Amino acid sequence: MTPTISVQQLSKTYEVPEREGGFSAAVRSFFKRKYKDVKAVQEVNFNIEQGEVVGFLGPNGAGKTTTLKMLSGLLHPTSGTANVLGFTPWELKNDYLRSMTLVMGQRNRLSWDIPAADSFLLNQAIYRIPDDEYKETYKELDELLELEPLMKKPVRNLSLGERMKCEIAVGLLHRPKVLFLDEPTIGLDITGQARIREFLQEYNKRTGATIILTSHYMADVTALCERIIIIHHGQLKYDGGINDLSKKIAPFKLIGVLMENADAHDLSQYGEPVENMEDADKKFIQVKADEVTRITSRLLADLPIRDITIADPPIEDVIEQAFNA
């Protein structure tokens, strides 16, 4: 059987204009612009079978969104080929556009000033969905996402989570066979995230749709995807089961401590110190997972600790470590 998505040697290089600051540089660049090639995606290969849910992981700027944009047809690759459902995406054939969806951010298919219900009906017409099929799909989506109370309010008055629900739902009205989701849970609270996750899982089970999603939240990926693809600096670094990856990188945990007179204590004897920008008050060390209990009790015994946290390292750090080490 041919795979639903097949990608060979896919590359994308952006030409980015570049100049020094200052007046004379501005004048010079007016006559002769310098460009720098940015290799966003480099010779990526993978196949995805029908019904798979695959997570794209990688730090900001890794090339995840660029890859999704090429697969959905928005971007022409610099070289390489891709085949989705038998189509070359960037030819933007209407038959292709009617069988996939790309959900990107919160302002996409819904018109800002009018109730979501109107945008839903417009999309029904655009995607030529027969009335009975539309009603059925809408009923299903409403069951899973509880859309009905949101439908009559102008979209601008919906909360972020409500809007995301509507964005996803409107993108699924035409029952796409392939879903590209770029950060579907970004900006949502924990319950909101869980909601979307459960929904995607259920949708995949019911329809057998193929789903690729990118996310910053490790929880999204662990909950939904059995397979992950890691892209870093535009290159494919890992493609395989999520369990295999966690074996490779899970050994690390992040311990954060809040102490009196923090600078007086050296934590490097307990584990590798880590910079953490988000929480400047605490000091962080990274330790192997099986040593967490031992080191935590040592820390508590040795130091004047006011607060202590144990967490998984952020996904960006995990990936950096797994592949740059």
Partner 1 sequence: MFLIFKRLWQVNWAEQWQYRANLLMYLLYWLVSPIIYLAVWTSIATANGDVKGFTANDFITYYMVLLICDQVTSNIVIHTFGYKIQDGSLSGELIKPIHPMLTNALVNNVAFKILTMFGLTPIWIILFFLFQPDFSSVTLTGILLAIPAMMLAFLIGYFQSAAITALAFWTTRVYSIHEFYFALILLFSGQFVPLPLMPQLIQDIAQYLPFQLMLYYPIQLILGNLSTEQIIQGYVMTGVWLVISWLIFNWVWRKGVKKYSAVGA
Smallest separation, CB 72 to partner 1 (Å): 6
By beta-carbon proximity to partner 1, the closer residue of 95 and 290 is 95
Query: Per CB under 8 A, does 325 bind partner 1?
Result: no
Angstrom distance (rounded) from CA 116 to CA 109: 10
Contact 299, 305 (CB under 8 A): yes
Alpha helices in the chain (DSSP H): 23-31, 64-72, 94-97, 116-126, 131-145, 160-172, 190-207, 218-224, 242-249, 292-302, 315-324
Pick from 64, 74, 112, 114: nearest CA to 96: 74
Angstrom distance (rounded) from CA 15 to CA 40: 10
Query: Per CB under 8 A, does 132 bind partner 1?
Result: no
DSSP classification of residue 312: P
Query: Per CB under 8 A, does 127 bind partner 1?
Result: yes
By beta-carbon proximity to partner 1, the closer residue of 14 and 323 is 14
By beta-carbon proximity to partner 1, the closer residue of 69 and 165 is 69
Query: Per CB under 8 A, does 197 bind partner 1?
Result: no
Query: Per CB under 8 A, does 60 bind partner 1?
Result: no
Task: Name which position in 6, 74, 85, 140 contacts partner 1 (CB under 8 A).
Answer: 74
Smallest separation, CB 94 to partner 1 (Å): 4
By beta-carbon proximity to partner 1, the closer residue of 162 and 167 is 167
DSSP classification of residue 72: H
Smallest separation, CB 159 to partner 1 (Å): 20
By beta-carbon proximity to partner 1, the closer residue of 92 and 311 is 92
Contact 147, 162 (CB under 8 A): no
Pick from 255, 257, 222, 260: nearest CA to 241: 222
By beta-carbon proximity to partner 1, the closer residue of 155 and 229 is 155
Of 20-28, 53-61, 107-115, 299-307, which part binds partner 1 (CB under 8 A)? 107-115
Sign of the Cα pseudo-torsion (153, 217, 272, 251, in order): positive
Query: Per CB under 8 A, does 69 bind partner 1?
Result: yes
Contact 103, 180 (CB under 8 A): yes
Site track 2-41 with partner 1 (rule: CB under 8 A), x = hit: ------------xx--------------------------
Residue that has been written with the tokens 């040697």 in this structure? 9
Pick from 13, 107, 108, 12: nearest CA to 68: 12
Task: Name which position in 49, 118, 142, 291 contacts partner 1 (CB under 8 A).
Answer: 118
- Would you tell me which residues interact with partner 1 (CB under 8 A)? 14-15, 66, 69, 72-76, 90, 92, 94-95, 97-98, 102, 104, 107-109, 111, 113-114, 118-119, 121-122, 124-127
